[in-house]
Amino acid sequence: MSTGEKPLVIVRHLKKYFAIDRGAIIKHHVGDIKAVDDVSFEIYDGETLGLVGETGCGKTTVGRTMLRLYEPTDGQVIFDGVDLMSLNESKLRRMRQRMQMIFQDPYASLNPRMTVGSIIGAPLEVHGVARGKAKLNRVQELLQMVGLNPYFINRYPHEFSGGQRQRIGIARSMALNPDLVICDEPISSLDVSIQAQVVNLLEELQDKLGLTYLFIAHDLSMVRHISDRMVVMYLGKVMEMADRDEIYLNPLHPYTQALMSAVPVADPEVAQKRKRIILEGDIPSPANPPDGCNFSTRCPIVKEICKRDEPEIRELRPGHYVACHFAEQFL
C-alpha cells in the first residue's frame, strides 16, 4: 500500500563498495567491503518506507548513498524523475533542498561551537533562501514547530537534553521545506520515554507538511508503528519487501521470520505460545560474502542450491517481494 500514486524515489541496483587497500606508501587494491550490493526499491509520495535489519547490514549506507553523501559504486537513484547520479555539484546542491537527513546521534550531528540559531539557520544561508531578520523569524518558527522555545536561538547544544537536541536536528532538516527526509535511526540513542515523543513529532510534521520518509531503524515494533511498507536487509542485500502488516503477520523469508520472532509481545499468553527462532553462527564479513544466497550460512532451511545460486527477488503475493528459493513453502 502507498499513499501516493507514483514513486517519488526509485532506487535501482544501487551498490556501494568501500575499497580495501594495503601498503603504507604504494597502495594496492586487495578487495572491497560490499556495504550495499544491488539494492532496489521505490518510495511513494507521502508514504513512510521502513528500512530494517541487523547492525552492519548497510541500512545507513543506503540512505547516505541515496543523497550522494557517499558516491555510489553503481546503480541509479531517480528522485522525482531526475537521476541524481548524473548531476554535477551545482545541480545536486539545488536538488538537495528537497532532500534532507536526520542523523542518528544528536550529540555528534550538532556543532558544539555554534548556537542553535546558527545551526538551524545554516541551510537557509547556504542555499540563499533567507538572511537577517527573515532568517531569524524562520528559525524561531522552526523551533516552535518542533516543540522548543523560539527564544532558545542563542543557546548552545550542550545546554539541551538528548531529546531536545534531536528536535533541533529535525528543525534543521525542515528548514528548506524538503519533500524527502531520510531518518537515520533518529530514536536509537534516546531514552525510551523520549522515543515516542520524537516519533509522534515526525508523524505530525509528515501530516502537516506532506513529507515522504525513509525511516531507517532496528526497533521493529517502532518501524511497524510509523511505516506504510517495509524493506528487510541482510548483509547489503534486500531479503524481503512488503506492506508492514503483511511482513509482520506473514513473513516469507527465513531471516524475516527470525527477526519477527524477536519482537516483544505485550500479551504473555501469546508470547508463551510463540516459537522463538534462534539463528546460529555469525554474520559473514561484507568483504567476503558467501556464494549464492548471503543468508545461506545461517538459514535453517538451506539447501545445496542456496550455496550455489543467488536467489532473485520475486513477487509471491501482490506487493510482497522475497529473495528466497524456497519461500513458496511459507505461503
pLDDT of residue 222: 87
Domain boundaries along the sequence of the chain: 7-234, 252-331
Q: Rounded distance, CA 218 to CA 289, Å?
A: 22
Average pLDDT over residues 297-312: 94
Percent of the chain clearing pLDDT 90 (strictly above): 75
Dihedral, CA of residue 262, residue 267, residue 273 and residue 274, to nearest 10:
-20
Confidence class of residue 3 from pLDDT cuts 50, 70 and 90? very low
CB 218 within 8 A of CB 185: yes
pLDDT of residue 2: 43
pLDDT at 285 over 80: yes
Percent of the chain clearing pLDDT 70 (strictly above): 98
pLDDT of 168-199, one tens digit each?
999 999 999 999 999 999 988 888 888 889 99
State the average pLDDT for the chain. Answer: 91
Average pLDDT over residues 258-280: 81
CB 98 within 8 A of CB 106: no
Residues with Cβ within 8 Å of residue 14, at least 6 apart in sequence: 36, 38, 39, 40, 62, 65, 66, 72, 74, 75, 76, 77
Q: Half-sphere exposure (CA, 13 Å, Cβ side) for 112?
A: 4
Residues with Cβ within 8 Å of residue 237, at least 6 apart in sequence: 37, 38, 39, 294, 323
How many helices, marked H, and strands, marked E, lie in the chain?
11, 12
Dihedral, CA of residue 245, residue 238, residue 182 and residue 204, to nearest 10:
0
pLDDT at 107 over 90: no
pLDDT of 231-241, one tens digit each?
999 999 999 99
Q: Rounded distance, CA 73 to CA 16, Å?
A: 5
Dig out the grid coordinates for 15 from the structure: 551498490
Residues with Cβ within 8 Å of residue 249, at least 6 apart in sequence: none
* CATH classification (class only), 7-234: alpha beta
pLDDT of residue 45: 94
Q: Rounded distance, CA 322 to CA 234, Å?
A: 12
